Structures are given as C-alpha cells and as structure tokens.
C-alpha cells in the first residue's frame, strides 16, 4: 500500500505544479495584454487635455482605493518598512512617473521596446547579480537578441538626434529598471500577490495625492468625461490595481526572469497597434529592433 500512496502523492504534487504553472502562464499572457494597452492608452491620454500628473493621479488614487481593504486586512506583516517603500517606489511611483514621461516624449514603438522589451534583460541582470547562475544556450542567445534589438532602437533615437526623444528613451529605460526591480523584490519577499499589490497601490496613493493637490497645471476638471473615464478604468483599475497583482502572481509561479520574458512580446503588439490607433509609422531600423526583441523573447521562452 505504501508505494501506491507515494505514487498518489507524487501525482497530486505534479498536478499542483502543472496547475501553478498554467496560472503563471495565464497571468504572463494577461500582463502582455495589459502592458500593450498601457503604452497605447497612456499615449492617447497624453494627447488629450489631460496632463501627465492628471493621469498619474487617476492611476494612484483609484488603484489605491481599490486595494486599500486588502492592505487594511493584512497590514505590513511579514515585510520590513524599507522593503515596503522599495516595492511602492519600484512598482508604483518610480515606474509610473518615468513611464509617463517617456510616453510623452518618445513614440509608442520606443515605449514598447525600451520599456517592456528590456524587462527580460534588466530582470536577468538583477536576479543574476543576487544569485549568479550559468546561462543556458538558448536563453543566452535570446537575451543577446533582445540586447541587439534594443541597440537598434537606441541607434534609431540617436539618428533622430532630438534631445526630447533621447530624454524620453532614457525615462523609459529607467521605468523598465524599476519594474524589473519590483518583480525581483516581490519574489524575494514572498508575500501573497494581492498583499504585494496593495502595498504598492496604497503607499503610492498616500505619497502622490498630497503632492498632486498643490501642483500647478492640473487640467482634470476641464477634460471631458469620456477622457477621464477611459484613463480612470485603464490606468486606475487595470494598471494601478490589477497589473501589479497579475505580475506578482506570475512571478510567484514562474519566477521573475521567466515572467519578464513574456513582456518581450509587447513591442510587436504595441507597434502594430500604434500604426492604426496613433498613426505612428516606425522607421525601418525601429521595426527591425522590434522584430529582433520579439524573436529573442521567443528563443528564450523555448529554453524552458
């Protein structure tokens, strides 16, 4: 009877592992959809009467209020204050403000590649610096391809030689580094994904809204209700609340590196969508960078 019991236990464990991986992959795919929409909807919002600080206020206030009950239930149990602050900065304030600045100054195709396409590279470097491990063949080739695609996009920016676009590209890279740090830190702290997301959303809201109240240049009261509703639903609900939870859940199942690899699919989706929705036609070099980054993601994913 004992061997049969052991076999049943092993089968149950394998079933749990398969279910956990399926949930992780599903959340990874959902992150791709959300991040692709994040670039496009943010660019659309910044083309309306809303300003960067208005969009940020909608994101932080709605996301924070939605997840406040979760934080009130769990509190800050199991996490040090400095780690909670780091999670809120990397996954909330730092990421969002750098990303919105980049979207305002650079084309959507650059936002897709330099923000989301670089996530696998930044995440791998951060995780490797904390726990060095051997790079397998396909993963190494995939990461190299992602780096080459990023270099192509960077050269496209230099060739354009506008300080505005270069500043935007720099902000997008900083946003990518912030989100990569959020994924790695969330995995290392090991909190429940909903708890992690609530810390990010509520602390970001608490820090930003008092500053927003006294900042000049707010136009939210002059914007149409359609503009406000679109940004409120997407930025506040889907990005401010849902994306932090979904990404943390994927990280809990797959690890930060494998989860980040999914986001390399974002450039291809976003660039194609931007052609139709925003009328942005990427240069040949920029398009080549998008395709190379996406190919690098596919190669790295096959190494799993």
User: Within 13 Å and on the Cβ side, how many CA atoms surround 267?
Assistant: 31
The C-alpha atoms of residue 186 and residue 196 are separated, in whole angstroms, by 7
The C-alpha atoms of residue 281 and residue 44 are separated, in whole angstroms, by 16
Per-residue pLDDT of the chain (304 residues; tens, 9 = 90+): 455 555 566 677 787 878 888 998 899 889 888 888 887 888 888 888 888 899 999 999 999 999 999 999 999 988 999 999 999 999 999 999 999 998 888 776 677 777 877 787 888 888 878 776 556 667 778 778 877 877 777 676 666 657 788 888 889 999 999 999 998 998 888 888 899 999 999 999 999 999 999 988 888 888 888 999 999 999 999 988 888 889 889 888 888 877 887 777 777 777 777 777 667 677 777 778 778 877 877 777 665 5
pTM of the model: 0.81
**Burial class (CB within 10 angstroms; exposed 0-12, middle 13-18, buried 19+) of 188:** middle
Given a contact cutoff of 8 angstroms between Cβ atoms, the answer to whether 267 and 294 are in contact is yes
Angle between helices 137-160 and 119-130 (to 10 degrees): 130
**How far separated are the first and last CA of the chain, in Å rounded?**
36
Cα distances (Å, whole numbers) of residue 198 to 93, 136, 150, 202, 233? 14, 35, 32, 6, 17
Which H or E run includes 283? none
Please calculate the CA angle 143-146-148 and round it to the nearest 5 degrees.
110
């Amino acid at each position: 009877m004992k061997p049969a019991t052991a076999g049943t236990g092993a089968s149950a464990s394998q079933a749990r592992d398969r279910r956990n991986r399926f949930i992780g992959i599903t959340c990874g795919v959902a992150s791709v959809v959300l991040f692709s929409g994040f670039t496009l909807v943010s660019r659309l919002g910044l083309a309306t009467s809303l300003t960067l600080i208005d969009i940020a206020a909608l994101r932080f206030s709605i996301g924070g209020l939605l997840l406040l009950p979760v934080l009130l239930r769990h509190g800050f149990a199991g996490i040090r204050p400095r780690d909670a602050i780091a999670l809120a900065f990397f996954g909330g304030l730092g990421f969002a403000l750098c990303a919105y600045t980049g979207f305002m100054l650079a084309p959507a195709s650059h936002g897709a590649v330099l923000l989301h396409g670089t996530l696998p590279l930044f995440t791998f470097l951060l995780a490797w610096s904390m726990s060095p491990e051997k790079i397998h063949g396909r993963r190494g080739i995939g990461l190299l391809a992602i780096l080459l695609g990023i270099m192509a996009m960077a050269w496209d920016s230099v060739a354009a030689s506008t300080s505005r676009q270069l500043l935007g590209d720099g902000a997008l890279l900083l946003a990518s580094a912030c989100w990569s740090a959020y994924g790695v830190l969330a995995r290392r702290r090991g909190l429940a994904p909903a708890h992690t997301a609530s810390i990010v959303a509520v602390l970001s809201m608490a820090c930003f809204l008092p500053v927003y109240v006294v900042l000049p240049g707010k136009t939210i009261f002059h914007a149409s209700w359609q503009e406000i509703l679109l940004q409120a639903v997407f930025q506040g609900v889907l990005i401010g609340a849902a994306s932090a939870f979904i990404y943390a859940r994927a990280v809990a199942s797959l690890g930060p590196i494998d989860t980040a690899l999914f986001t390399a699919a974002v450039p291809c989706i976003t660039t194609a969508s931007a052609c139709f929705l925003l009328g942005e036609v990427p240069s040949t070099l920029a398009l080549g960078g998008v395709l190379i980054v996406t190919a690098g993601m596919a190669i790295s994913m096959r190494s799993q």
